[in-house]
Amino acid sequence: MKVTYDPASDTLTVLLKDAAVAESDEDRPGVILDFDEQGDVVGFEILDASRRVTDPRHMEFTATA
């Protein structure tokens, strides 16, 4: 998984797996889902991220066994 924030475009991008995007859909205004050929979600973008998330420059990741 890869998460990037672009302050120039104020876009937060989350890539769930390394796969070619076959289709994108703006599910809700400002939230774009990316799908592969099989219809699985492979990533998503959040537009105007500084308005939609607490701090787009900070991420906490927790994994449990």
Q: Which of 38, 35, 37 is nearest to 16 (CA)?
A: 35
Q: Which of 16, 9, 12 is nearest to 55 (CA)?
A: 12
Model confidence, pTM: 0.86
What's the pLDDT score for residue 50? 93
| pLDDT reading at 57 higher than 90 | no
Burial of 35 (C-beta count, 10 Å sphere; 0-12/13-18/19+) = middle
Q: What is the dihedral angle through the alpha carbons of 16, 19, 25, 27, rounded to the nearest 10 degrees?
A: -10
